Amino acid sequence: MSVSPTSGSPTSVVTKVDELLAAHPPAGTDRLAFLRARFDAGLAWVHFPETLGGLGLDASLQPVVDAAFAAAGAPDNRPQGNVIGLGMAAPTLLRYATPEQQRRWMRPLWTGEEIWCQLFSEPGAGSDLAAVAATARRDGDDWVVNGQKVWTSLAHDSAWALLLVRTDRDLPKHRGLTYFVLDMSTPGVDVRPLRQLTGEAEFNEVYLDDVRVPDANRLGAVGEGWRVTQTTLMNERVAIGGAVAPREEGAIGPVAREWREHPRRRDASAYDELLRLWVDAEALRLTSARLGQQLEVGAPGPEGSGLKLAFARLAQAASSLHLDLAGADALRYDDWSMRRPDFTTPLDRVPGFWYLRTRANSIEGGTSEVMRNIIAERVLGLPAESRPDRDIPWKDLPR
């Protein structure tokens, strides 16, 4: 389902905000009831269609709506805690889900009642996602799924998952895939924590043992999973690297504060590096704002790969400089016991944590090497790499 936004005015949407606030004063309204009312009024994402949390208006009006609610002290939907649902599942559902599926999933997704995860990567299929080996076998109105997924953020909190599986082993790897939505409470779904370099378990491995998925939960046609997946991946890269942080926030924020608060740690070479990173951060912020407009209307292109690549490089360089400026304080670390991170609140962590965590930025959501290939081929128009396995049946590929 596609959206053709119509024009509107800031005044008109603010009027609708005022009407909702009058009918549901934030101070006297249950948080979840308020969020549901906001969705039903079309003020969740104004560029979405009516009945799906929107008004069919231009995406540029969303910041106006968000600012008006924030000024009134209204609750938000805690987007940090459902980044996969909001940034990846929603645009995929908007484009490929049936009207019945959209009505079932969109509102609890936006309100945060139901958290989403993404079951794509596997131990033998990460950067080469089309090589996934998890299989689905048709059995009446259901599909029986078996396999293993890995690096699944938020799987331990999720109600639903975006699931890519192989439904035909005789076709080449890109053409034998099908895309489903999986109820994570289904028998046979086993979520296990993966402890990271930081000591936390933000990711998971997920085992699927004779898991039954209704055909009614399929997105797109059988065998067209790769086409649906491209929508998810393009939105994922912008969602990871494209958050528009205020000036001097985001990756550059902690190192800039370290510079200002501890003048004795400054030196000329660090100053030059900080200025260079500050300029990179500002360029990334402005580029994110522009590409975010494409994301809002569900049409991010391969340029999102450049954004994700730039974000990873900036985050790693800034955390490294922060570690240098911190001196002996960089040796301090939080409690090393395994824990699940809380994505709903800002993390005020020591420099060593961010240095370790940003190592994953060049891997998660597609490696930086894959991003460079996409930029080279789809943005710059350079010759594509040789891919001799594209026309070989998946069952005949070496693994």
pTM: 0.86
Q: Provide the residue range defining the domain that includes 27.
A: 1-76
**In terms of DSSP H, where are the helices of 262-380?**
268-296, 303-326, 351-357, 368-374
Which residues, including other chains, have CB under 8 Å from residue 368's CB and lie 6 or more apart?
Answer: 309, 312, 313, 362
Residue 209 is assigned to a structural domain of this protein: no
CA distance 235 to 88: 6
Neighbours of 157 (CB within 10 A): 16
Residue 336 is assigned to a structural domain of this protein: yes
Instruction: Please list, residue by residue across 228-239, b when 16 or more beta carbons sit within 10 angstroms of its beta carbon and e when fewer do.
Output: bbebbbbbbbbb
Q: Say which residue the tokens 């079932």 belong to.
A: 104
Residue 324 is assigned to a structural domain of this protein: yes
pLDDT tens digit string along 106-144?
A: 999 999 999 999 999 999 887 789 999 999 999 999 999
Residues listed for the chain: 399
Active-site entry in 122, 200, 236, 273: 236
Residue 352 pLDDT greater than 70, yes or no = yes
Domain endpoint, select from 57, 76, 95: 76
Residue 244 sits in a domain whose CATH number is: 1.20.140.10
Beta bridge mates, 180: 163, 218
Residue 224 is assigned to a structural domain of this protein: no
Domain endpoint, select from 22, 46, 76: 76
Residue 249 is assigned to a structural domain of this protein: yes
pLDDT tens digit string along 141-189?
A: 999 999 999 999 999 999 999 999 999 999 999 999 999 999 999 999 9
Domain endpoint, select from 61, 76, 91: 76
CA distance 252 to 140: 54
Cα separations (Å) of 191 from 107, 118, 188, 203?
Answer: 25, 13, 10, 10
How many domains, the chain?
2
Residue 191 pLDDT greater than 80, yes or no = yes
Residue-level pLDDT at 199: 87
Closest CA to 164 of 202, 208, 203: 208
pLDDT tens digit string along 196-205?
A: 888 889 899 9
CA distance 389 to 138: 26
Query: Is residue 141 classed exposed, middle or buried when 0-12, 13-18 and 19+ CB atoms within 10 A define those classes?
Result: exposed
Residue 20 is assigned to a structural domain of this protein: yes
Residue 399 is assigned to a structural domain of this protein: no
CA distance 262 to 109: 43
Please confirm, yes or no, whether 236 is among the known catalytic residues. yes
Q: Which of 97-106, 276-285, 286-295 has the lowest mean pLDDT?
A: 286-295
Residue 41 is assigned to a structural domain of this protein: yes
Cα separations (Å) of 371 from 37, 145, 231, 311, 376?
Answer: 40, 30, 15, 12, 9
